[in-house]
Every structure is written in structure tokens, then in C-alpha cells.
Amino acid sequence: MFHIDRSEPDALAAFLGAIAVAAGAAIVAATKPGLHVSTKDDGSPCTAADEAAEAAIVAALRQGAPDCAIVSEESAEAGAPLTTSFFVVDPLDGTRDFIAGETDFSVNIAAVRNGRPIAGAVFMPRLGQLYVGGTRAYVVAVAAGGSLPDKALWQPITTRGAPAEGLVALASRRHGDAESEALLARLPVRVVERRASALKFCLVASGQADIYPRFGPTKEWDTAAGEAILAAAGGRVVAPDGSPFTYGHAERAFLNGAFIAFGDPALAPDVLQPTAR
Ligand SMILES: Nc1ncnc2c1ncn2[C@@H]1O[C@H](COP(=O)(O)O)[C@@H](OP(=O)(O)O)[C@H]1O
Ligand SMILES: [Mg+2]
């Protein structure tokens, strides 16, 4: 049995990783021609794949960690503050890209302890890539619904130092915003790659990119797992004033403020607001 307040972060991350890979199979199984797309109250799409993955994840979390609260994208409601330790789930992050047949979509599951993410898993079903982070961060090649290989075969990942030839920056493919573009315009950026879902955090965590600023809106389930992985790999996710991100804000419907995710902590003086330096 797992408990967020008592289990080791790496053990929690492996638990979440196995659940994310199994949820990937639910997504693949639900992916059929003519997949029904409904529109949620906020105008964003939801499919049978989102719902099947959420049901699989919630059932597995309840079985493995029965005493822990769960916040999940498709069932979260604004209201009373939660306990400060809970699982946060996005069963299908990047739904628009999923519907468009792209590879950039992910299953995100994180464990939040005292308002901070301590373990996370991000799985890309169509890429067959699982990223996990607890105390350390790893990438694992595994097909949707497959068995996780022995931990000795997991590849440890770390962020990279900012390259002298310029930064590789990441931005949302479908939800760009002017403030993020303005920040990147002030930095020595070599290329801006537009990608979807929490895969962006994983690309920074594994040293394939350097910075991902996001001033436009996101929800806690979009960032918690990615933050856990990036932090375990040596990077940071902070508000533009340098303050840490906290989770469990039911009173604002789990809406995040702006953040800057970056791999090399030495970038802080360049990317954060002057008062935060
Ligand atoms: N106006 C808005 N308010 C809140 N969250 C938003 C939003 N526009 C986009 N998002 C979040 O951004 C996520 C997609 O990120 P990206 O653009 O990097 O792929 C969406 O995830 P879902 O696809 O799970 O709904 C959604 O949660
Ligand atoms: Mg999402």
C-alpha cells in the first residue's frame, strides 16, 4: 500500500508510472475512427479516451493508495480546500493534439505532499515513452499497456547546462501567449519548438531543451507531474518572481499562475524578474 505522506518519492513515482502506462492502453483501446468529441463547459474538448483513462487511473490509485485524495481533470470541482496531500491526474493532456492524430499528448499523474509535487509520471502512449521523477528522474521505453522493464533498465536523466550556442525554448503549439514570447525574445534563444502536453517538461528534464515559459492559463494537472520530473532531474519550475508553485488550490478551480520551467539553475538571473534575482 502507498501513502503520499509516508511512501518514498521514488517508490511513488514507479507506482504512478505503472498506472500511467496502463492508462495509455485504455486510451489506445478507445481510439477508434469517429471518436466522439464532446465540449466541456470551458470550451475544451473531451473524448471517450479521456474518460476511459481517468476511470482506469482513479481505480488503480484507489486500490494502491486507498487513503489518499484524488484531483482529476475530468471530475475536479472548485470548492473547499483539500487535504494538502493528494494525487493530481490529467488522464489525457493535449486532447486537441490527440484528436488531431499527433504524438504529443500525455497521461500525467503526480503525488502532491504539503502542497508540493514530490513524485510524478508522464507517459506518451504513441511515443512509448514514460518519464518518472521522485528523488531521481528517469525515462523508460515502454509501449502502452506493456510491463515496466526492470528498474536497472530505466535511463537516468538530468537537465543540461545552458548551451553556449543558444537556448532551445519550448512553447505550446495551440495556446501561445504574448508574454512568454516577449520573455523568449529577451533571451539568447536559438530555436523555439512548439510542442503539446506535459512532454515539454520532460524535454527540459532530459536535456533536450532548456526553457519553457508559460504565462497563459494552465491547471494544476497540467504541471504537477512535469514539475516533479523536472525538479528530480535538476531543473526548476517557478513563478516569474521566483516563488515556488503550490498545489491544491480548489478555491481557484486549480488554475495556475504564470510559470517558467528551466533546466539550468544558473539561468535564474536571466529568466526571472529583476526583483527575484
Ligand atoms: N484557457 C485555459 N484555461 C485553463 N487551462 C488551459 C487553457 N488553455 C489551455 N489550457 C491547458 O493547457 C493544456 C494544453 O497544454 P498545451 O497547449 O501545452 O498542450 C490543456 O490541457 P488538456 O488538453 O488536458 O485540456 C489545458 O488544461
Ligand atoms: Mg491538460
Structural fold of domain 9-156: Fructose-1,6-Bisphosphatase; Chain A, domain 1 (3.30.540)
> Quick one: pLDDT at residue 275?
63
**Which pLDDT band holds residue 87 (cuts at 50, 70, 90)?**
very high
Inform me whether the pLDDT recorded for 81 exceeds 70: no
CA distance 146 to 15: 14
Closest ligand 1 atom to residue 44 Cα is 25
CB-CB contact of 118 with 111 (8 Å)? yes
Pick the CATH number of 167-276 from 3.40.930.10, 3.40.50.1000, 3.40.190.80, 3.30.1490.20: 3.40.190.80
Inform me whether the pLDDT recorded for 277 exceeds 90: no
**Which pLDDT band holds residue 83 (cuts at 50, 70, 90)?**
confident
Backbone φ, ψ for residue 121 (5° rounding):
-135, 135
State whether the beta carbon of 54 lies less than 6 angstroms from ligand 1.
no
Protein residue with least CA distance to atom 24, ligand 1: 93
CA distance 207 to 272: 20
CB-CB contact of 47 with 35 (8 Å)? yes
Provide the pairing of β-strand 69-72 with 86-93.
parallel
CA distance 76 to 247: 13
Q: Is residue 99 classed exposed, middle or buried when 0-12, 13-18 and 19+ CB atoms within 10 A define those classes?
A: middle
CA distance 52 to 25: 10
The answer to ipTM > 0.85 is yes
Closest ligand 1 atom to residue 255 Cα is 4
> Quick one: pLDDT at residue 260?
98
> Quick one: pLDDT at residue 82?
65
> Quick one: pLDDT at residue 220?
97
> Quick one: pLDDT at residue 198?
98
Provide the pairing of β-strand 106-113 with 86-93.
antiparallel
Inform me whether the pLDDT recorded for 35 exceeds 90: no
Inform me whether the pLDDT recorded for 139 exceeds 80: yes
pTM of the model: 0.97
Inform me whether the pLDDT recorded for 20 exceeds 60: yes
For 191, half-sphere exposure in the C-beta direction (CA atoms, 13 angstrom radius) is: 8
State whether the beta carbon of 222 lies less than 6 angstroms from ligand 1.
yes
Residue spans per domain, the chain:
9-156, 167-276
For 207, half-sphere exposure in the C-beta direction (CA atoms, 13 angstrom radius) is: 14
Q: Which of 139, 143, 163 is nearest to 153 (CA)?
A: 139
Question: Average pLDDT in the 191-195 region?
Answer: 98
